[in-house]
Amino acid sequence: MDAFIAGLVCGTFLAKHGKKVLVVEQHFIPGGYCTSFKRKGFNFDAAVHHIGGCGKWGIVGRCLKTLGIEMDFYPLDPMDHLIFPNFTIEIPADLDNYIVRLQSRYPSEKDSIKHFFQDFLKLYRATFNNEKSQIIDKYRNQTYGEMLNAFLKNDELKMILSGQWGYIGLPPAQTSAIGMCQMMVNYLKDGAFFPAGGTQEFANAIFKKFIDFGGHIMLSSKAEKILCTDKTAVGVKLQEGKEIYSNLVVSNIDARQTFFELLECKLDTPFLQRIRKMKESCSFFLLYLGIGEGIDLSKLQRGFYHTATDASYGNAEWMYVSIPTKICPNLAPAGKQIISVVVYMEKEKYKDITDWKSFKESMIVKTTNRLEEYVPDIKKYIEVKDAATPKTLERYTLNTNGAAYGWEVGVDQIWDNRLPHQTPIDNLYLAGHWTRPGPGICAVVSSGWGVANLIMEKENWR
């Protein structure tokens, strides 16, 4: 259920092996957060602004190759910028280069930086290979902030090494060391990439291969119930009343909705008690601007714009700015440009909002004003303006409260503390960012691939 990236990847692998696969999707296009929309000739990416792991050794690159999918990506180098109130730093798309730059900038921490990244890489390899090892045991209950403090003293250096926490949704004092490692090393070892034509083209390429392998999809069709017999999933019931029976059900849907709203048979198990206690991630406000001709955006950097002045990131805000037309000019009419802005939204700040229209308008003004600090007179050149709130994300994806990353990536909700693919209901599996390994396109590709492998091994389909 759901034509999000994990669901598409899982379905495509199963279809490739000759299985009859149906994907049910409530939206009218596939992709989940990895979709695009058009306004007056401007092609905006809805939520995803680049993808990691697309090189030949990365998860995404290997997945596409295995499925026989060919598409063009633009490598991003530098992969990011971190803009703080007092300084800016460029993050290269090469880990060794990054380490050398940091050691040059902070010579007194040279050995500490070396040892930090040695552990970071060991931890990444252990999680990548799904190992049970001492390095996993060492960090499974540590926050990323605790890991940094164990190696480093310089506060500015720790700010830099935490500066991309927005990709995972929790500041360093709260986010898991394992979760941050999985995200950062993936980007730094294999780089970040932008799909030619926008992120919808990435989803479309997988979707097309799914159809080529004989898969079927029902768009604009919402699953209302997961049908069960004797605690075994046997199919789904659509909102229109149609019942579809199957040997297996894979849910890419919000895990709470899967078990508390869709599942026909009721369970009272530690598994459900565990889900009740879990916390969903933050959400975002997103601003989409179509910019007319005549303004110079060359100095506007792609990356995180922080208000933080210390490594705790306490009560600090950030926005992420992307200018995809610098990479792919044909996303906008000739000579025009696109600016997309993501603003971090703490759950406490939007959980009680009822007037979303007023909130949206106030955030558009606030975010545009902040953008104008870096690009004077930007408002004069705005031709198209649109925005999305947590409520918008929830409406289009059905993620509870517009959760951007499924569950929070805290120490108690990552690695083997995250929900497993196999559930207590026979023949019901989970894929996507509500399960393992975690959030992000690379992770959900891995999730979908992993579920397909699990099913094929169990059913002896190989």
CATH number at residue 212: 3.50.50.60
pLDDT at res. 269: 86
The number of C-alpha atoms within 13 Å of 443 and in the hemisphere containing its C-beta is 27
397, 428, 445 — which closes off a domain? 397
Instruction: Look up the pTM and report it.
Output: 0.96
Coil/strand/helix, residue 257: helix
Q: Is 79 domain-assigned? A: no
Number of domains the chain is built from: 3
Q: Which residues does 95 contact at the CB level (< 8 Å), separation at least 6? A: 117, 185, 188, 189
Same domain, 322 and 349: yes
Same domain, 209 and 270: yes
Q: Are residues 388 and 291 in the same domain?
A: yes
**3-state DSSP call for residue 251?**
strand
DSSP state of 410: B
Torsion of CA 352, 438, 415, 135, to 10 degrees: -120
Q: 444 and 301 in one domain? A: no
List C-alpha distances in Å: 211 to 14, 200, 208.
12, 16, 5
- Assigned domain for 43 exists: yes
Neighbours of 114 (CB within 10 A): 13
CA distances from 29 to 19, 332, 334 (A): 23, 21, 26
Q: What is the pLDDT of residue 316?
A: 78
Work out the mean pLDDT of the chain and round it to a whole number: 96
Q: What are phi and psi of 122, to 5 degrees?
A: -60, -45
Both 186 and 291 in a single domain? Answer: no
Tens digit of pLDDT for each residue in 228-283? 999 999 999 999 999 999 999 999 999 999 999 999 887 878 999 999 999 999 99
- Same domain? For 184 and 200 the reply is no
pLDDT classification of 461: cutoffs 50, 70, 90: low
* List of E strands, 221-380: 223-228, 233-238, 243-245, 249-251, 283-291, 303-306, 318-322, 337-345
Domain residues for 12?
Answer: 5-74+196-279+407-458
Please indicate, yes or no, if residue 440 is contained in any of the structural domains.
Answer: yes
Answer whether residue 82 is part of any domain.
Answer: no
Give 186-239 pLDDT, tens digit per residue. Answer: 899 888 999 999 999 999 999 999 999 999 999 999 999 999 999 999 999 999
322 inside domain: yes
Q: Are residues 266 and 341 in the same domain?
A: no
Task: Give the domain-ending residue among 190, 221, 248.
Answer: 190
Q: Is the residue at 297 inside a domain? A: yes
**Residue that is last in its domain, among 129, 163, 190:** 190
Per-residue pLDDT tens digits for 23-47: 999 999 999 999 999 999 999 999 9
**253 and 296 in a common domain:** no
Q: Region 98-113: what's the mean pLDDT?
A: 98
Domain annotation covers residue 98: yes
Q: Is the pLDDT of residue 453 over 80?
A: yes
What gap in Å lies between CA 111 and CA 99, rounded to an integer?
Answer: 11
Q: Are residues 296 and 389 in the same domain?
A: yes
- What single string gives the DSSP state of each residue in 60-107? HHHHHHHHT----EEEESS-EEEE-SS-EEEE-S-HHHHHHHHHHH-G
The pair of structure tokens assigned to 344 is 């971090």
Q: What would the DSSP string read from start to end of 324-353?
A: GGGT-GGGSSTT-EEEEEEEEE-HHHHTT-
Q: Tell whether 402 is covered by a domain.
A: no
Q: Taking residues 334-342, report their average pLDDT.
A: 99
Give the span between the Cα atoms of 376 and 10, in whole angstroms: 46
Whether 181 and 223 map to the same domain: the answer is no
pLDDT tens digits for 359-401? 999 999 999 999 999 999 999 999 999 999 999 999 999 999 9
Please indicate, yes or no, whether residues 357 and 255 belong to a single structural domain of this protein.
Answer: no
Q: What is the pLDDT of residue 16?
A: 98
pLDDT in tens, 4-15: 999 999 999 999
Q: Looking at the structure, tell me whether residues 27 and 172 fall in a common domain.
A: no
- The DSSP call for residue 40 is T
Sign of the alpha-carbon dihedral angle for 447, 454, 425, 230? positive
Q: pLDDT band at residue 111, thresholds of 50, 70 and 90?
A: very high
**Buried residues in 237-274 as b, exposed as e (16+ CB within 10 A):** bbeeeeebeeebbbbbbbbbbbbeebbbeebeeeeeee
Q: How crowded is the C-beta side of 391, counted as CA atoms within 13 Å?
A: 13
- Name residue, tokens 């083209």: 201
